[in-house]
Amino acid sequence: MTPSVSDTETPSQSAAEQELEQARARLDAGDRAAALAICRKYLSRDILLPDACVLSVLLRDLGETDAADQIRSVVLETVQAEARRDTIATAGVLSGTELLLSLDAIDEALAHCKQAHARAPDDQEIMNALVSLLINLDRLDEAQAVAAAYCDRNSEKFNVLIHIATIFSHFEARDFALKLLKLAEGQCTDKNQRAKIDYLLAANGAAVSNLDQHGMAVGLFDGFADSYDEKLQTLENNGPAMVLAALQDLGLPKRKTRRVLDAGCGTGLCAGFLRGYAKHLMGVDISVAMLEKSRARGIYDLLARTDLSIRATYPEDQYDMIVCADVLVYFGALDTVFGNFHDVLVPGGWLVFTVENESDPAVQARFKLYPSGRHKHSQDYLCQTLTRVGFPKPKLMHRVRLRNEMTQPVMGTVVAVQKSALAF
């Protein structure tokens, strides 16, 4: 019997998700009978659409191909029925595409995305999904044609051009990315937009002098603040979680006795867990729009606009702990920032931060600007730079997955280092 599929949530569905995860764990452990018993419980039940996809894949892996195919057919019909509705729901198109891909229904996912794009050609998220899917299928020419047509219709939208250029530069389609950046130059209205263009031009091999890191960061994050949390959730961002894990690995007690600085606090994603370590929690960021989002959380004791590379912009205070999650990727050389951190930490104070991991031995400087517009830093570079500014050897240095990008994991490093308590 095939389960009926629902696209609305019921109280039992969280339990269903957990039980299907247990079935996968049992199957991975070699207990086929237990996994099959869990799956069969749902063959006559109404379950949520994503759970039906999980169930279909599980049943196929268990050798129950007829039941798996029946569920797959129900999912396909449900997604296709949604696509036939009179109005286009962007969220429905994106989730439907993801569900079809989870079933390895590649052709159906592509057709679904193309149909939605044809009906809503100026919906940016649907266009993004179609372009990304085509690129991942190695159909780069088609992806460029879709993006070029969209940009022709929306050539006055600076951020659209920048965003699409970033997608193609990630896949090393640099000629097309540079073409889009040249279009964006015609829409540039201020120095921060100019800085964003220059960073991406440099990341794609163009010769650019005097990169403006300050202007790039302000332009990027002021425009990103409203959708920042949602986009990081889509990317399965792991940076704040890795900082928390590092604090736990260090065994630092949750005592509200510390003055804690959240350096580059953004929208305040670290604030919740930092509160338990802090008597006074200070958040600083270069973006006023980001600081307003942090203020709305009502967790920080104080917030201030600060450029981490300029010591004079720091609040006049000393800190027992500094955390810096997902921020240093926007800097190349880190001597100045690390030096500033060392200066505002009390003796014995902790610095915990994340970077993207540079593992290419051909990168002589041991950090490099990539087409994403972010830098990667090698672990050797981090250790040597920390030592140059006065820190000892890190107490913790773990390689971790920071997030996904274009469906691929982005690896990083989480570091914890303690400022020497005594100076000789």
The answer to whether 341 and 351 are in contact (CB under 8 A) is yes
Q: Using CA atoms, how far apart are residues 155 and 110, in angstroms rounded to an integer? A: 26
Collapsing DSSP to helix, strand or coil, 66 comes out as helix
- Per-residue pLDDT at 227 exceeds 50: no
What digits encode the pLDDT tens for the residues 142-159? 998 998 898 888 777 787
The residue with tokens 């949602």 is 230
Q: What is the pLDDT of residue 383?
A: 95
What digits encode the pLDDT tens for the residues 269-317? 899 999 999 999 999 998 888 899 899 989 999 999 999 999 999 998 9
How confident is residue 9, by pLDDT bands cut at 50, 70 and 90? Answer: very low
How confident is residue 164, by pLDDT bands cut at 50, 70 and 90? Answer: confident
Parallel/antiparallel/unpaired status of strands 302-305 and 278-285: parallel
How confident is residue 348, by pLDDT bands cut at 50, 70 and 90? Answer: very high
Cα-Cα end-to-end distance for the chain: 76
Collapsing DSSP to helix, strand or coil, 415 comes out as strand
More confident residue, 57 or 220: 57
Most confident of the ranges 43-52, 154-163, 256-265, 402-411: 256-265
Collapsing DSSP to helix, strand or coil, 385 comes out as helix
Exposure string over 212-234, b if 16+ CB within 10 A, otherwise e: bbbbbbbbbbebbbeebeeebee
Mean of pLDDT over the chain: 84
Write phi, then psi, for 236 (nearest 5 degrees): 55, 50
Render 10-64 in DSSP notation, one character per residue.
Answer: -TTHHHHHHHHHHHHHHHHTT-HHHHHHHHHTTTTS-EEHHHHHHHHHHHHHTT-
Q: Using CA atoms, how far apart are residues 357 and 379, in angstroms rounded to an integer? A: 7
How confident is residue 177, by pLDDT bands cut at 50, 70 and 90? Answer: confident
Q: What is the pLDDT of residue 224?
A: 53
The answer to whether 371 and 170 are in contact (CB under 8 A) is yes
Q: Which CATH number fits domain 235-418: 3.40.50.150, 3.40.390.10, 2.40.10.10, 3.90.1150.10?
A: 3.40.50.150
What digits encode the pLDDT tens for the residues 74-121? 888 888 887 777 777 787 888 888 888 888 889 999 999 999 999 889
Every domain of the chain with CATH number 3.40.50.150 lies at: 235-418
